[in-house]
Amino acid sequence: MKRSVRDKNRREKKKRAVPFLPNFITTMSLFCGFYSIMFSLKGNYYMAAVLILIAGFIDGLDGRVARATNSTSEFGKQYDSLSDAIAFGVSPAIMAYLWKLSLYGRFGFIACFLFVACGALRLARFNIDTTQYTSFKGLPIPAAAATVAGIVLFSHEIGAVPSWTILVGIYILSFMMVSNIRFPSFKHIGYIKAHPFQLLVAGLLVLVVVALNPEVMIFVVSMTYLVGGIIYDSIRYLRERSREKKEIAETDHENLTKEDHHI
């Protein structure tokens, strides 16, 4: 009896615990998002975009560190979402508004607010949906923020980008975050363990390609994930429809066979 009480108390303490390392990494991601806002306010959109991308890289580490050190916690999960809302919601929205969308007055303001709101809704849905393991429902907010940052860096390389494309792009990204489109997740541990060498080679190739011309290739990589997610979801949908039709056909065949036997 005493042992069960001690075990229960230990579990409760673990739930209330605030692990240092993963939450410190999350704080660094939050700091980069906040620092990005500072650069946007100063009109340095290039550095603002770079800091958003750095925040995205750091954000990919905290969860893995927490799982590797067995220090996952409900506090960390909620803190990570709040940090993401600022680093990948507020930060790119302010950057886009001050960079191009302030020209459109209320429409630009609404577009940026919609981006933040849809990002927050996307995070809330992710927190309560336990099925988002092998794939994400809706565009992940870090990917949406990376796309906005990629556009800024791309424009720095090729020259001016029409402001209306940014306005339309923000609306599209906002919709995709709250859509039911499935995007592939690279957090599937089983797949990573099954293909460690292939993924290592693929990761190195991506780094080499990005290093050749970061401003252009980051934009290309983010757009590839965006378009690739739509293609991925379309293929998944067609496969499910085909499977459903096959199951219906088999069920109908079995029913007809049973009726023939009864006759």
Angle at 217 between CA 95 and CA 99, to 5 degrees: 15
Helix (H) or strand (E) holding 184: strand 182-184
Q: For position 12, what pLDDT does the model report?
A: 53
240 Cβ partners below 8 Å, 6+ apart?
none
CB atoms within 10 A of CB 55: 30
The closest alpha carbon to 137, from 91, 96, 206, 185, belongs to: 185
Angle at 115 between CA 157 and CA 104, to 5 degrees: 70
Q: What 3-state DSSP class applies to 181? A: coil
pLDDT per position in the chain (263 positions), as tens?
556 655 555 555 555 556 788 889 999 999 999 999 999 999 999 999 999 999 998 988 887 777 777 777 888 888 999 999 999 999 999 999 999 999 999 999 999 999 999 999 999 988 887 666 667 888 999 999 999 999 999 998 887 788 999 999 999 999 999 998 888 876 655 555 566 666 677 777 777 777 778 888 888 888 988 988 888 888 888 888 888 777 776 676 566 666 655 55
The closest alpha carbon to 59, from 155, 117, 126, belongs to: 126
Angle at 71 between CA 65 and CA 73, to 5 degrees: 110
Q: For position 72, what pLDDT does the model report?
A: 78
> What is the residue extent of each domain of the chain?
2-187+204-262
Q: How big is the chain by its Cα radius of gyration, in Å?
A: 23
Q: Which two tokens stand for residue 36?
A: 């990005």
**Do the beta carbons of residue 80 and residue 26 sit within 8 Å?**
yes
Q: For position 139, what pLDDT does the model report?
A: 92
The closest alpha carbon to 91, from 130, 144, 12, belongs to: 144
The closest alpha carbon to 33, from 110, 187, 148, belongs to: 148
Q: For position 252, what pLDDT does the model report?
A: 62
Q: For position 128, what pLDDT does the model report?
A: 84
Superfamily grouping for domain 2-187+204-262: CDP-alcohol phosphotransferase transmembrane (TM) domain (1.20.120.1760)
0.85 exceeded by the pTM?
no
The closest alpha carbon to 45, from 6, 84, 1, 101, belongs to: 101
CA distance linking residue 170 with residue 149, whole number of Å: 12
